[in-house]
Structure 1
Amino acid sequence: MTSDERTITNPATLHDPTPFGYSHAVSAPGETVHIAGQYASDSSGAPVSGDFATQVELAFDRLHSALAGVGLGFEHVVRLGTFIVDHDPGKVQVLGKALSARFGDRLPAQTLAGVAALALPGMLFEVDAVAVRPAGRG
């Protein structure tokens, strides 16, 4: 599936979400694939780096690997869930840059949650995804 096979809808009756790094609704034909939360981890699963921006980059690298493992890429993602420890506007800007670098102007739907903590000590960011495998690909 190319990004053109996804239909992005940002109704005029809602605010423009693109400056915030997401689209209101995304639909696509095909099979839904759910990707579990990915974070900045080493090969044993331990969190790495105490730097938020580094963790965001590494989490998206892990997400890319998980997608590739099922034969998909960022262009197949229709929804993200993002989780930021001690959320603040500066962290949202870091996330926005990472999203723009990966999705350009074809932003998936997204929910961002500011949280007190994630699953493991040292985790500052986590991202999960819903992707769509194009019809006829298996």
Structure 2
Amino acid sequence: MENNKQHQLVNPAALFNPEPYGFSHSISVQSPFQMCFISGQSGGVGENHVLADDFKTQVQDALKNLNIILQSHSMTFENVVKITLLIVDHNPEKLEIWAEEAKKVWNPTFLPTSTLIPVSQLALPGMLFEIDAIAVKS
């Protein structure tokens, strides 16, 4: 964690080290309320960023990684106000899988705003899904 008067960088030890790649997993900004800007989280697990072969498992693992970061900021999925989804070779079946998994972590009466961007590939070979988020806590 690095701190200054305006923001705090948080890179949980349970996730891979992003510094060699030129980014941080999240930045928390203090004002009258706390805002947390979270980098895209994929389905990679652990320091070696091991990816499952299937889309559903990658979505589940990405949501676990997102939760690790939210907890690092003393937040939950309820604090998330905006997400961006990147899906490789997007199709209706993948959207259905995403919706099923999202319903497990978000209250269906208070869902975050969302943008879905179909892409041909992501940062690492084998990545099928990525989610970034903005969370707010008063």
Which TM-score band (shorter chain)?
0.7 to 0.9
C-alpha displacement of 1:66: 0.7
Higher relative CO (Cα under 8 Å, sequence separation at least 6) belongs to 1
**Mapped pair 1:83 → 2:99:** no
5+ unaligned residues in a row in structure 2: which ranges? 1-31
**Mapped pair 1:99 → 2:127:** no
Helix, strand or coil: the match of 2:104? helix
Deviations 1:14-44 (A, max 9, x none): xxxxxxxxxxxxxxx8232101111111222
Identity %: 38
Helix, strand or coil: the match of 1:131? strand
Which has a greater percent of strand?
Answer: 2
C-alpha displacement of 1:46: 2.4
C-alpha displacement of 1:48: 1.3
Equivalenced residues, count: 106
Aligned residues of 2:85 and 2:132 also touching (Cα < 8 A): yes
Q: Tell me the TM-score normalized by structure 1.
A: 0.73
5+ unaligned residues in a row in structure 1: which ranges? 1-28
Aligned residues of 1:86 and 1:115 also touching (Cα < 8 A): yes
Q: In structure 1, how many angstroms separate the alpha carbons of the residues matched to 2:117 and 2:49? A: 22
Aligned-CA RMSD value: 1.3
Other-structure match for 1:64: 67
